[in-house]
A = this chain, B = another copy of it.
Amino acid sequence: MKVGVIGATGYAGQQLLWFLNNHKETEVSFLVSHSYPDKTYSSIYKNYRDFIKSKCISMQNMYKYLSSVDIVFIALPHGKSMNIAKDLLLKGIKVVDLGADFRLKNYKIYEDWYGLNHEGKELLKNTVYGLPELNRNLIKNASLIANPGCYPTASILAIAPLLKNNLIQNSSIIIDAKSGVSGAGRSLNTSSLFCECNESVKAYKVGKHRHTPEIEQELSNINNENVNVLFTPHLIPMNRGILATCYGKLSKSISLDNIQEIYEEFYSNDYFVRVSEDIPETKWVKGSNFCDIGIRFDKRTGNIIVVSAIDNLIKGAAGQAVQNMNIMCGFDEYEGLNFPSMIP
């Protein structure tokens, strides 16, 4: 299958190329980069020397390559995908958008949180939110996948079984998430400099992060009720990984063993979710497409604590995008993704 990548030189884009390069069924037709048009890809990311020989192209030049591709991945900042996706779909090309533009079903919520007009409202109805563990069947027949955000992937997978089984009080959900710095992307910000991040931890965008409505949308769908969550992201001095520590008040009496069973049952057909009796650490999933989940119950306060760990660039971005492609295109769901974290 012929694949195009738009936004190939961001961190998520280049992670995607790592997977596509190893994938049995795909061949990359073009790489679009706004920052490095006409530059050899491996001169920017030198790890790809001898693996990727092509040059990046500009957005304008992309259009002449479209006839040759079956699917395009878009890894651009929010607001940039809407019109491109329209063009691609009109040509019958499948699209997996790693950005935020199609994740929110209600365009007003998008406009409210992102401060932009939505220029692709008409596509929202048929867009599928590409979290395979919740929407696998819809993904199979989708043309446009909104690939979930990194924080929402970790958060939703942690909490979904609780809501599905009405085990927690909806109003009590708090998600305290910790992310490595690659989540901030490769653009130039003082706050992403080595010396600003190293040897420090901070909370940011407290109560205001744009992944909040995305988490709420999907959790509300599970529950058929309106779910509001408090989501607090933190920046951790490491390259990769998200740990989401999720809290909620139990709504009925149930043993931890039973909750554990409910989780195992919920994810029994989901290869990439590993429910464990241990509390996860990001190192065990770093560099892989797995989401590890561990659960505890605190009798003293009546809280259930669910901790999930993913690699933000893989299960939280490029790996999940490939997983979605695999499902859409009828490949093995774990083709190209089936290996464990490499540690240390």
Please list the residues of chain A having a beta carbon within 8 angstroms of any beta carbon in chain B.
Answer: 11, 14-15, 18, 21-22, 45-51, 171, 173-174, 176, 178, 180-182, 186, 188-190, 192-204, 206-207, 228-230, 232, 234, 236-241, 243, 245, 247, 271, 274, 276, 278-288, 292, 296-298, 300-303, 305, 307, 339-344
Contacts and interface: CB of A to CB of B under 8 A. Distances in A.
A279 B205 CA distance: 9
Contact of A300 (B11, B190, B230): B230
B287 A174 contact: no
A61 to B, nearest CB: 24
A267 to B, nearest CB: 12
Given A18-B342, A46-B292, A194-B197, 19 more contacts: A14-B343, A18-B339, A21-B340, A47-B343, A49-B276, A178-B201, A181-B195, A188-B188, A192-B194, A192-B195, A199-B240, A200-B238, A200-B286, A203-B305, A204-B279, A206-B307, A230-B300, A236-B236, A247-B247
A190 B186 contact: yes
Given A201-B243, A305-B230, A11 B195 contact: yes
Contact of A279 (B189, B202, B276, B288): B202
A293 to B, nearest CB: 12
Contacts of A196: 194, 283, 344
B340 A18 contact: yes
A47 B287 CA distance: 10
5 contacts: A50-B271, A178-B234, A193-B194, A202-B281, A204-B279
Nearest to A195: B344
B15 A342 contact: yes
A207 B256 CA distance: 13
A204 B15 CA distance: 26
Contacts of A245: 176, 203, 232, 234
A45 B300 contact: no
A50 to B, nearest CB: 6
A237 B196 CA distance: 13
Given A47-B341, A201-B178, A301-B229, A287 B286 contact: no
Shortest 5 CB-CB distances between A and B: which pairs?
Answer: A200-B283, A195-B344, A202-B281, A47-B341, A207-B298
Contacts of A22: 339
Contacts of A274: 49-50
Contact of A344 (B178, B240, B302): B240
Given A201-B241, A276-B46, A207 B11 contact: no
A174 B247 contact: yes
A239 B18 CA distance: 21
A248 to B, nearest CB: 10
